[in-house]
Amino acid sequence: MAEYPARSSAPRSSDSRGSRGDSRGDSRGPNKRRFQVRKKVCRFCVDKTPFIDYKDMKTLRFFITERGKILPRRISGNCARHQREVTVSVQRCRNIALLPFSGEK
């Protein structure tokens, strides 16, 4: 069997942080601030839409990728209730052939 050299239990020096180092936060300078992340809001809650119509293709196109996948809630900004309704509407729309099951090539 091959023998491996023993590992030292000494702590690593501060110079062995890898290729990125620890200077990620220092490059902006003292007066630079990060951009403010805006909270996504559910567009159906804001408009007080009573229901999501599966025949409304213009609305459902915003929640589908080019490949035909349904966008997740963290990307689209929908609340949980309306995301479930969007999913059901897209599935109904696919079943009656208004939307493709996969993206168009």
Residue-wise pLDDT tens digits, 89-99: 999 999 999 88
Instruction: Say what the pLDDT of residue 38 is.
Output: 79
For residue range 14-31, list pLDDT tens digits in order. Answer: 555 555 555 555 566 677
End-to-end CA distance of the chain: 55
Cα–Cα distance between 105 and 103 in angstroms, integer? 6
Residue type at position 104: E
The confidence score (pLDDT) of residue 59 equals 92
Which residues of the chain are modeled with pLDDT < 50?
A: none
From CA 52, how far away is CA 81, in angstroms rounded? Answer: 11
Q: Give the pLDDT score at 34.
A: 80
> How long is the chain?
105
- Residue 45 has which token pair? 């809650």
The CATH topology of domain 37-95 is 30s Ribosomal Protein S18 (4.10.640)
Residue-averaged pLDDT of the chain: 82
DSSP assignment, residue 72? P
pLDDT given at position 15 = 56
Q: Which two three-digit tokens encode residue 86?
A: 């969007």
pTM of the model: 0.62
